[in-house]
Amino acid sequence: MVLCLLAPHPKRINDTTVRQYPAFLQLRDRKCLIVGDDPNTDRQVESLLSCGARVVWIKPAGAAVAAHGNDRITTHLRDWCEADLEDCWLAIANSEDPQLNAAIATACETRRVLCHVRSQPEISSFAIPAVVDRSPLLVAINSGGVSPILSRVLKSKIETLIPAAYANLAKAVGRHRKRVSDKLPRISDRSHFWHALINGPTGELAFNAEANTLDTAIAQAVDAIGTNTTTTGHVSLVGAGPGDPDLLTFRALRLVQSADVVVYDRLVSPEILKLCRADAQMIYAGKARANHAIEQGSINQLLVDLAAAGQNVVRLKGGDPFIFGRGGEEIETLAHQNIGFQVVPGITAAAGCAAFGGIPLTHRDHAQSCVFVTGHLRNGEVNMNWQDLQDPTQTIVVYMGLVGLKTICESLVDNGRAAATPAALIEQGTTQSQRVLCGTLETLPEVVQKAAVNPPTLLIIGSVVTLRDKLAWFHPAQKSTAPL
């Protein structure tokens, strides 16, 4: 990249209302001057050195000189003089003395040297942005001198959105760029190729695989250019959490935003579906109780067929895919058919409902263990080993327990658990429709019957439920809570 050294005209330099021109500078082997002596100056010196610049650092007489182990830096302990700008491409006036900084800025202006002045955007000819560094990928944020704090806040947000692995992807893409340009002379063809590759399973390898696996996959994709080979797609089995889109993982969000096809279950909330790529094919796989839009065997085969046709598929499931989600069966079929897949955990209903219900699942004074069971009815009966559920220091979490609630509560009592054991049913946990109905094994079925509950619901049994009185914090639209 070429460094453009046309500094703005002096009359314009004070005008911070004019938008700045964004650019990245090539400073390798170029002389840069920096004046100042504080931790911020140290960081800027390091940053200049990391870009290969030749740095001349002017510090006050008597200041400490740190060893940099780098022969590109020359430190002078003396006052700045105009001759320091000789052969200079860029200067940073970082002194504590505003008059000295202003003098440096004026001298730079005369000599057409780009100059950044500490805390004085109005006399600077360039800004130092907040940077998200995924070298060779850099994201620079600049508020035009209005609010450096806002730039730093935004930087933290962007840091979390761009995983460090993007650096690997950028490096790998750089290694294959020339071959792709040779094979695809038209810019539009190249951009189509890279777009599909980066957003597809190969790009995803940057986050999961070693650098050489990623390199091999890109090389294969480049080899396949111009042939009629269909590259096999990939399936990501993704947990969508219990409902609130804010509870998605970053990885889940990235995947739903790039998938060609999303196969989703009934429990995936509409807010989460809205986050999927606008032109993605959306396939509803259903699974309400006794109302399966697609049978499980057909879902397994559908995933295989879509990936075999080269599609980048996200199989989106409520909560966590490996907890009462039949995710294991789906990926077994994929493994059997040699289709690549990954599994992305989600917040399971137990964790979400417990947190949003103010009911810790374990607590030193109440429960030392916790068990997740399914209350699904088979032939009108709940198949559970009731004897294993008698420990009063163990919390029981029952998924799919609404229809069998009465049977579950009665069976636990019949097998020895105290009728006064606290129990709570959490309806549509983590969402704005959440309600928490509290009672005991004896009273909860009646409380629930009177409350006209809408699934999904989760049952939590054990003395931890009493903690809700102190720990409830989530009060959507002030829904009522029945007392114990």
Ligand X SMILES: C[S@@+](CC[C@H](N)C(=O)[O-])C[C@H]1O[C@@H](n2cnc3c(N)ncnc32)[C@H](O)[C@@H]1O
**Do residues 55 and 48 make contact, with C-beta atoms less than 8 angstroms apart?**
yes
Residue 130 vs 285, nearer CB to ligand X = 285
CB atoms within 10 A of CB 213: 13
Q: Which of residues 273-332 bind ligand X (CB under 6 A)?
A: 317-320, 323-325
Sequence-distant contacts of 473-481: CB under 8 A, at least 24 apart: 473/358, 474/356, 474/357, 474/358, 474/430, 474/434, 476/431, 476/432, 476/433, 476/434, 477/432, 479/433, 479/434, 479/435, 479/436, 480/435, 481/435, 481/436, 481/437, 481/438
**Do residues 349 and 267 make contact, with C-beta atoms less than 8 angstroms apart?**
no
The CA distance from 55 to 72, in Å, is: 6
Residue nearest to ligand X (CB): 319
The CA distance from 122 to 145, in Å, is: 8
171 is catalytic: no
DSSP state, residue 247:
G
Shortest reach from residue 194's CB to ligand X, in Å: 36
Shortest reach from residue 395's CB to ligand X, in Å: 15
Residue 22 vs 380, nearer CB to ligand X = 380
Given candidates 204, 217, 399, 482, which one binds ligand X under the rule CB under 6 A? 399
Instruction: Give how many residues touch ligand X by CB under 6 A.
Output: 22
Does residue 358 touch ligand X according to CB under 6 A? no
Six-digit token pair at 450? 């009177």
Residue 180 vs 349, nearer CB to ligand X = 349
3-class DSSP assignment, residue 78: coil
287 is catalytic: yes
DSSP state, residue 82:
G
Q: Which of residues 235-274 bind ligand X (CB under 6 A)?
A: 242-243, 267
Cis-peptide, bond into residue 360, ω within 30° of zero:
no
Write each residue from 328 to 357 as x if it is in contact with ligand X (CB under 6 A), else as -, in one continuous string: --------------------xx---x----
Write each residue from 411 to 440 as x if it is in contact with ligand X (CB under 6 A), else as -, in one continuous string: ---------------x-xxx----------
Which of 287, 305, 391, 469 is catalytic? The answer is 287
Residue 73 vs 425, nearer CB to ligand X = 425
Residue 306 vs 323, nearer CB to ligand X = 323
Which of 260, 265, 317, 320 is catalytic? The answer is 265
Does residue 456 touch ligand X according to CB under 6 A? yes
| Alpha helices in 246-295, H assignment, sequence order | 250-258, 270-273
Q: Which positions lie near ligand X, rule CB under 6 A?
A: 242-243, 267, 317-320, 323-325, 348-349, 353, 399-400, 426, 428-430, 456-458
Catalytic sites, residue numbers: 265, 287
